[in-house]
Amino acid sequence: MAESLVQLIAREADVRQRIKDHEEAAKKERIQLDAALNAVRHSIGCAKAGLDLTRIDRALSILKLGGSYVNGGVDRGSVIRDAVDWLATGKCAAYRGLDGADFGTKNYDRWRGQRSDHEWGGPSHGSICFQIGLKDRQRALSEDERADAIYFLLNIESWEHARRTGARMSTARNFAVATTPHRPRAAPLSARIAGATPGLAEVASEPGKTPDRLQLTAREYKLIRDVRTFNDATSELLQAVIRSGGKWSTNALRANLAAVRAAQAIWADGLEEEADNTAADLPGYQPRETL
């Protein structure tokens, strides 16, 4: 028996809702998988740097971190020094120890990275850019816990570097998946550019200075410049997100747009290369307009 129009419309609404539910569930799972991937890459980076992941995990179970040491400003070193001194001896140059305050730096007015020790979250004026505290100030720390926390703080810059590297890899991969489909015919060009890597900076900035073992066309110069622009844009995007504490700020959105435009430029370069290949294979072929 044929379904009535009412039944068809109702079934359409049901299917659309199921599609929506599926997409939302897939999006949530993708976020979780991306986070897991970043964590794994971070661990790999730490292992490559020779860091003891077990000791770092134990340290992070008792310490809380805010912002970034790399972006902590001029007084960031004093934060680490006072925290290490307090963990080792129970005393430090700060007015209070970690059992009474959180150590950090803030951006305020013309000052960047000015020392500022407050309760978690920061002062009423300015914004915290780096902060260290204890998750539980009331609990006495064992000697091993203090040692692990000191080990982590002394290696925090290497630890953050490994985290940024993992996040940068994921960012670059996401842009590649979103904007660049598989293009096997562009491989010969990619191989030539890969061969020019030792002279990449000179080639991109001074087209007249070409490595002796490779002659590049004007189009290939443009592709190299576009790739460098994309790398710079994705790096700026990562830094903007880090500066905003993982949230989408105006600067992060602008950096995201710049990265997308840079990726589109690379995609356009690939279309031109394919058009040339097709024209060589099919006489009389007229390439369509690129992006």
pLDDT mean over 11-37: 91
Token code pair at residue 68: 């970034």
Least confident of 72-76, 83-87, 170-174: 170-174
Mean pLDDT highest for which of 151-160, 201-210, 269-278? 151-160
Least confident of 7-11, 63-67, 248-252: 248-252
The predicted structure's pLDDT at residue 202: 40
Q: How confident is the model at residue 217 (pLDDT cuts 50, 70, 90)?
A: low
> For residue 3, what pLDDT band results from cuts at 50, 70 and 90?
confident
Which pLDDT value is given to residue 5?
A: 85
Cα angle 227-233-237, degrees, rounded to a multiple of 5: 145
Choose the weakest-confidence range: 77-81, 138-142, 258-262: 258-262
Distance CA 164, CA 238 (A): 8
Q: Where does 49-186 have alpha helices with state H?
A: 53-62, 76-89, 143-154, 156-179
Which is it for strands 127-134 and 111-115: parallel, antiparallel or unpaired? unpaired
Give dist(CA 25, CA 116) in Å, integer: 42
197 pLDDT exceeds 60?
no
User: Is a pLDDT exceeding 80 seen at residue 71?
Assistant: yes
Pair type for strands 63-67 and 111-115? unpaired
Residue 148, pLDDT score = 94
